[in-house]
Amino acid sequence: MRVFFIFLVLLQCALLASLGFLPTDAIPYHEVLPQDKILHFSGFLILTFLTFFIWDGPKRLHNLILTAIPIGGLAFASEILQPILSPSRTYDSHDIVANVCGTIIGLLLATGADYLRALRYSSRPRTSNYEAVELDLV
């Protein structure tokens, strides 16, 4: 596990939780482009991207599964629990759609970044060559 990414994920979770408990009237709203949906989308995009790089899995699919399941569950659970934990907030199915879209785009970006990172490090020339050493045991 990568400790720096764990710290960033916890920081992002704290930010999302604090925004989740804001009263609805404290979030600016516009009919054409609701800022609430932008916050849901961007928050889960960043959270998913950072969570992907916590894991040191041997394969990219391993990291993808370890990220998609908990963040996908959080995308649904956060919206279902929000009216219970904060009476000023209400359930909105469009928020779940924004959460899931942010999660999917975050997974795509993280997978692409991981692919480019692996491509960069696999094309490096190796600087050390190992040769057999003859031992004289007598």
Per-residue pLDDT of 81-123, as tens digits, reads 887 877 777 778 888 999 999 999 999 999 999 999 888 877 6
Q: For residues 109 and 64, what is the distance between their CA atoms, to the nearest angstrom?
A: 11
How far is residue 73 from each of residues 21, 81, 103, 115, measured CA to CA in Å? 19, 12, 11, 25
Give residue-wise pLDDT tens across range 80-90.
888 787 777 77
Q: pTM of this prediction?
A: 0.78
For residues 5 and 49, the answer to whether their CB atoms sit within 8 Å is no
**Where along the chain do its domains lie?**
3-121
